[in-house]
Amino acid sequence: MNRVGVFLGKYVIPEEREYYQVRNPADTSEVVGEFPLMMREDVKRAMEEAEKGFQSWSNMLPVQRANVLYRAANLIESRASQMAELLTREEGKTLQDSMFEVTRTVNLLRFYAGLITSKTGKVIPSQDPRTTLLTFREPLGVVGVITPWNFPLSLPAWKIVPALATGNSVVWKPASITPAVGTEFVKALYDAGLPEGVLNTVLGPGSTVGDEMTSSKFDALTFTGSLEVGREVARKMGGKFVRLQLELGGKNATILSRKGKLSLAIEHVVRAAFGLTGQACTATSRFLVPRELHDEVVTKLVERTKRLTVGNGLTKGVDVGPLASREQYEKVLSYIKVGKEEGAKLVLGGEPIKEHERGYFVQPTIFDQVTPEMRIAREEIFGPVLSVMTYEGMDQAIEIVNGTEYGLVAEIVTDDITEAVEFSRNAKVGVVKVNKPTTGLEPWVPYGGVKGSGNDVYKEMGEEALDFFTRYKAVYVGY
């Protein structure tokens, strides 16, 4: 039995807990590992350990914390291929995409290690010649982190790394179905010299362990997941005076402008709609094309999508892996049924892939003649399903882009700079891409959704991420 433990102060394999199996979504006969099914009281224990860890960690110099992060980056880099393989085996994405997550995690560690030694506070001129005004940037304390399964390594890293860099300690609940690579991430941090108790993990269902996290008195809580669960978290946290960050779903669109390159738009849409099996918050799920270009676009889009290879992410040459779980698989198939019932025209895919009977594989699926009021054009499907929609003028295209309750990412494919700037101003989203696919984020710029895609108070990544995890204290020094 391959039992994997958790971090409660230090690495432990809790004997008193039941264990559950994590299976490979590309081949469910393969058990990736057995993980402890933790209980509500474990959250309390993790918080106590984190309180202790905070005392030592927050008093270390920024340069000492930075050195731990730099060492962790080096260790993860040296373990990159094992970690990427583990990620693919538990989540399903291709090895190349897993490697990308590993690299991004290394970059995040180095980026925040560098930042934290310089972004500590300011000196501000006073109106009084015998006074100096200072600001200190202080950590908040114990931060709760709840994350989804679709980026089980780099997404937790873009929360945990700035939290640690700024001197906080952390209790992290990873998604139940993808705890394996995250465990390796935490191990690397401890191997790099993180003091005991600074980063703790609790595994178990959202309905118990997750619920307990949102009932507990953290100094701040950062959550990424679905709009539905995000609403529930916001409701529960509403009465507490605790900093809350919510990053939620998306219904992202790519617009092909009349002034843009058709072939480029198709490459981007195929990559961002079907790459990562459509299981990215930034995935393209709506493709808006000028009415008169519709027939040519659909023909070329279908022809290009047919060339994708679907299969086990560990196999060389595979472009699209499985859905991550049975729940995901059933949800995607049910949306395909909804699309057909709503009258959208299925032009590609729409079926499970029979020859991969032990995995959760669904064909890349394209619906044409989708209209804005259809559910498949409004709701997040989170799978390899693309809706093609048409528009007349750019005003209408922007209205369609902005016409869902989400606001995460939008792309315009255009060679017209004025159109690109106007679109960037008018799209109600957190991230605009001009001639760049909706998927693919760089860690040095702020990221976050608006409307139903997030509570839009603090950004993640970039220098801006430091703001969520710190508070400023003003100090007046008279002399």
Q: Report the catalytic residues.
A: 247, 281
* Integer Cα distance of 465 and 463 in angstroms: 5
The 403-422 site mask, x for binding ligand NAP (CB under 6 A), equals -----x--------------
Tell me which of 233, 288, 344, 400 binds ligand NAP, using CB under 6 A: 233
Q: Please report whether residue 162 would count as binding ligand NAP according to CB under 6 A.
A: no
Tell me which of 248, 265, 332, 398 binds ligand NAP, using CB under 6 A: 248
Q: Which of residues 281-340 bind ligand NAP (CB under 6 A)?
A: 281
Minimum distance, C-beta of residue 288 to ligand NAP, in the bound complex (Å): 20
* Integer Cα distance of 436 and 257 in angstroms: 13
Minimum distance, C-beta of residue 157 to ligand NAP, in the bound complex (Å): 13
252-256 vs 284-290, strand pairing mode? parallel
Q: Please report whether residue 249 would count as binding ligand NAP according to CB under 6 A.
A: yes
Tell me the number of residues near ligand NAP by CB under 6 A. Answer: 33
Count of Cβ atoms closer than 10 Å to residue 244 Cβ: 22
Question: With respect to ligand NAP, which residue has the nearer C-beta, 53 or 206?
Answer: 206
Task: List strand residue ranges (DSSP E) for 107-168, in order.
Answer: 121-124, 131-139, 142-146
Tokens coding 136:
């200190």
Question: With respect to ligand NAP, which residue has the nearer C-beta, 147 or 414?
Answer: 147
Q: Please report whether residue 179 would count as binding ligand NAP according to CB under 6 A.
A: no
Tell me which of 175, 301, 310, 314 binds ligand NAP, using CB under 6 A: 175
Tokens coding 343:
């009258």
CA-atom Rg of the chain in angstroms: 23
Q: Please report whether residue 169 would count as binding ligand NAP according to CB under 6 A.
A: no
Task: List strand residue ranges (DSSP E) for 232-355, in order.
Answer: 243-247, 252-256, 284-290, 345-348
Q: At how many degrees (to 10) do helices 394-401 and 417-426 cross?
A: 30
The 440-459 site mask, x for binding ligand NAP (CB under 6 A), equals ---------x---x------
Minimum distance, C-beta of residue 324 to ligand NAP, in the bound complex (Å): 8
Q: Please report whether residue 211 would count as binding ligand NAP according to CB under 6 A.
A: yes
Tell me which of 73, 146, 160, 289 binds ligand NAP, using CB under 6 A: 146
Minimum distance, C-beta of residue 211 to ligand NAP, in the bound complex (Å): 5
Q: Please report whether residue 156 would count as binding ligand NAP according to CB under 6 A.
A: no
Residues 6+ apart with CB under 8 A from 268: 254, 284, 411, 413, 436, 437, 438
Q: Please report whether residue 148 would count as binding ligand NAP according to CB under 6 A.
A: yes
Question: With respect to ligand NAP, which residue has the nearer C-beta, 57 or 111?
Answer: 111
Minimum distance, C-beta of residue 142 to ligand NAP, in the bound complex (Å): 17
Q: Which residues partner with 22 through β-bridges?
A: 33
Tokens coding 184:
């390796």
Task: List strand residue ranges (DSSP E) for 140-190, in order.
Answer: 142-146, 169-173
Q: Is the sign of the CA dihedral 171, 83, 14, 69 positive or negative?
A: negative
Question: With respect to ligand NAP, which residue has the nearer C-beta, 195 or 250?
Answer: 250
Q: Which residues partner with 203 through β-bridges?
A: none
Question: With respect to ligand NAP, which residue has the nearer C-beta, 294 or 331?
Answer: 331
Q: Which residues partner with 21 through β-bridges?
A: 34
Residues 6+ apart with CB under 8 A from 285: 250, 251, 252, 253, 273, 278, 380, 381, 385, 386, 387
Q: Which of residues 373-392 bind ligand NAP (CB under 6 A)?
A: 380, 382
| Candidate ranges 7-15, 44-52, 228-236, 471-479; the one touching ligand NAP (CB under 6 A) | 228-236
C-alpha angle 184/189/4, rounded to 5°? 30
Residue 198 and residue 168 in contact, taking contact as beta carbons nearer than 8 Å = no
Residues engaged in binding ligand NAP (CB under 6 A): 146-151, 155, 173, 175-176, 205-207, 210-211, 213-214, 224-226, 229, 232-233, 247-250, 281, 380, 382, 408, 449, 453
